[in-house]
Amino acid sequence: MDRSALIVVDVQLDFLPGGALAVRGSDEILAPLDALLRSNRFPLVVATQDWHPPGHVSFASSHPGRRPFDTIDLYGHEQILWPDHCIQDTPGASLHPDLPWRYATAIIRKGADGDVDSYSAFRNNWNAAGKRPPTGLAGYLRERGVERIFICGLARDFCVKWTAEDAVDLGFETTIIWDLTRAVDPSSDGAACRSRGITLIQSRTLLDASAGPMR
């Protein structure tokens, strides 16, 4: 029984060149990600999508006098304020149209609660009750027997990192496909991820022509 899944995090137009919150070099992951999606290496592929309502609490524009990348205290935790991005039903929230999303078995939309930010594919950030409500992804994967998770996408130091850390905490064997990620802060490295028990690999390891489907 196949027990691996690929999670493709937030490969949306607002995080790509020309987008509202463009991540440097993000377009460089598109061709190898396309190849990976078409390779049939993973029996299960899940894409995530930031899906914010207008006026989301994480937007600097929702806090008079604040600018993008300022930080505030929100429910007892640090909250970075972002440019308005990935607003529901806008072009910037769309998954990149040239990638073969037909291989995705599910799309998880996150950040739809206007009062709570959501980096991780598994759980929202902290809410006013001090909780991190689940997105339902963990249950979806467990019902399908998934034990190993491979993660790629945007951005490495936020949504990819939080997704990977939550995956470890939830008991999944977790790997980040390092060259298929890009970071808001390009100086971020893999030390923190390795310290949490997350494996880092390059996509060529998965695209080896001699390799079969992941098990």
**SS3 string of the chain?**
CCCEEEEEECCEHHHCCCCCCCCCCHHHHHHHHHHHHHCCCCCCEEEEEECECCCCCCEHHHCCCCCCCCEEEECCEEEECECCCCECCCHHHCECCCCCHHHCCEEEEECCCCCCCCCCCCECCCCCCCCCCECCHHHHHHHCCCCEEEEEEECHHHHHHHHHHHHHHCCCEEEEEEEEEECCCCCCCCHHHHHCCCEEECHHHHCCCCCCCCC
Which of 14, 50, 86, 110 is labelled catalytic? 110
Catalytic residue check, 10:
yes
Which of 86, 152, 159, 193 is labelled catalytic? 159
Which of 10, 84, 117, 157 is labelled catalytic? 10
Catalytic residue check, 159:
yes
Q: Catalytic site residues?
A: 10, 110, 159
